[in-house]
Amino acid sequence: MTAPERDSLLAGGAGWMLDSFDVMLYSMVLAYLMRDLGISKETGGFLGSLTLIASAVGGVIFGFVADRIGRTRSLSTSIVIYSIATAACGFAHGVMALAIFRIILGLGMGGEWTAGAALVAETWPAKHRGKALGLMQSTWAIGGMLAAGVAWAILPRWGWRGVFFVGVLPALMALWIQRRVPEPEIWKRQGASTEAGTRKVPVSVMWRKDIRWNGLLATAMNTFSMLGYWGLFTWIPAYFSLPVSQGGRGLSIATTYGWLLIIGVGQWLGYVLFGFAADVFGRRRTYFLYLVAAAILTPIYGIVHSALWLLLLGPAVAFFGTGFFSGFSAITSEIFPTEIRATAMGLSYNVGRGISAVAPFAVGSLAIEVGLGHAFFMLGAAFLIAALLTLALPETKGRQLE
């Protein structure tokens, strides 16, 4: 690795890891937060959906900003926003305040992926881009494991408020990014102003026929895959810890967070190995196989009752049900030109994420009627539709960025 390659990967990976850490803290304490604030499953799911809607808006805004002022400045700003908003959740005493803080957190969360993925994609060469983006994406699993560890250590002693207060620490990462991480050379060559440090972005390029069609396909594919992902992983901690009478599996706090750590290992392997497979076999084929496997495993995971099977299947569900994300950043960075890359990636990723925000609410609502585990059948169908849409996208393996 060259120094810019190393630093861009560290910045994008650390930013994404800490994004995951802050976002997943909510899932880790959801069951206890509902109890203390008197929140129903529907409202708990709605708050998760609200964060995703805000992240869609933030991703679009920061994609546009990243194309104008640069990837690193946009990245560090988004990290500061979501860190402060997470800590603020610890001060909430009602649904309204919590909703406001979750909206602000979502704005920063959406911006981080857009800027970080563009930064890594533009710094790394084509033959290793899939691996680099897979490694960056894999840090989401590490962030989830960190969140589980923090919840396990702090929740019994200081409650869910103390868990949220820890979420302010990622803001320190922004200082290092500003000092150490350079802008990609390809972005500089596309006409950055040496005086203002900004550039004009011809957004009209996005309506060019080939770009528009690929963008619509990528958005639709991402929408359905995220419907499956957010519906599943927002509710898995509650699925483990809620009583059996409420559709959960009645696991203890220690068992729940111990198993979440094991699931995190499956997620990490799924992300990383996707990158290597995509550089060898192609982005589209690997993406399709991951999503088909997720479509099969997710409904099965919702109907098993044996603690042993929950433990054994968890890493496999996580491997395929999250690892596919490594492919989206590779595909979208390679089908859009540099002058609108962050804007187009931000739109395709975050419009899909915004629509997928209905998933946590839908699962929570459906769980009232059929139980939490049986609601996972809907998520399996979403994964399958995403897999079929993948087949319509072009293969971009080995493509040089322009």
Asked if 111 and 69 touch (Cβ cutoff 8 Å), the reply is no
The neighbour count for residue 126, using CB atoms within 10 Å, is: 16
Asked if 353 and 52 touch (Cβ cutoff 8 Å), the reply is yes
Radius of gyration of the chain (CA): 20
Which residue type is seen at 116? G
pLDDT at 193 over 60: no
DSSP class of residue 124?
S
pLDDT in tens, 301-358: 888 877 778 888 888 998 998 888 877 777 777 777 666 776 777 777 778 777 877 8
Asked if 321 and 383 touch (Cβ cutoff 8 Å), the reply is yes
- Burial of 193 by CB count in 10 Å (0-12 exposed, 13-18 middle, 19+ buried)? exposed
Let me know if residue 184 belongs to a domain: no
pLDDT value for 203: 56
Let me know if residue 287 belongs to a domain: yes
Let me know if residue 402 belongs to a domain: no
The domain of 295 spans 3-179+207-390
- Burial of 178 by CB count in 10 Å (0-12 exposed, 13-18 middle, 19+ buried)? middle
Let me know if residue 216 belongs to a domain: yes
Let me know if residue 186 belongs to a domain: no
Asked if 291 and 324 touch (Cβ cutoff 8 Å), the reply is yes
Q: How far is CA 9 from CA 15, 47, 218, 271, in A?
A: 10, 31, 24, 14
The mean per-residue pLDDT over the stretch 289-295 comes to 93
The mean per-residue pLDDT over the stretch 211-239 comes to 82
Let me know if residue 188 belongs to a domain: no
Distance of CA 357 to the CA centre of its chain: 12
Let me know if residue 288 belongs to a domain: yes
Across 291-322, b (16+ Cβ under 10 Å) vs e yields bbbbbebbbebbeeeeeeebeebbbbbbbbbb
Q: Which residue has the higher pLDDT, 253 or 227?
A: 227
Q: What mean pLDDT, rounded, does the chain reach?
A: 78
Tokens of 244: 């059996």
Tokens of 369: 């009627």
pLDDT value for 44: 74
What is the total count of domains within the chain? 1
Let me know if residue 224 belongs to a domain: yes
% residues pLDDT > 70 (the chain): 88
pLDDT value for 157: 81
- Tally of residues, the chain: 402
pLDDT at 293 over 90: yes
The mean per-residue pLDDT over the stretch 253-275 comes to 80
pLDDT value for 192: 47
pTM (2 d.p.): 0.69
Q: Write the CATH number for 101.
A: 1.20.1250.20
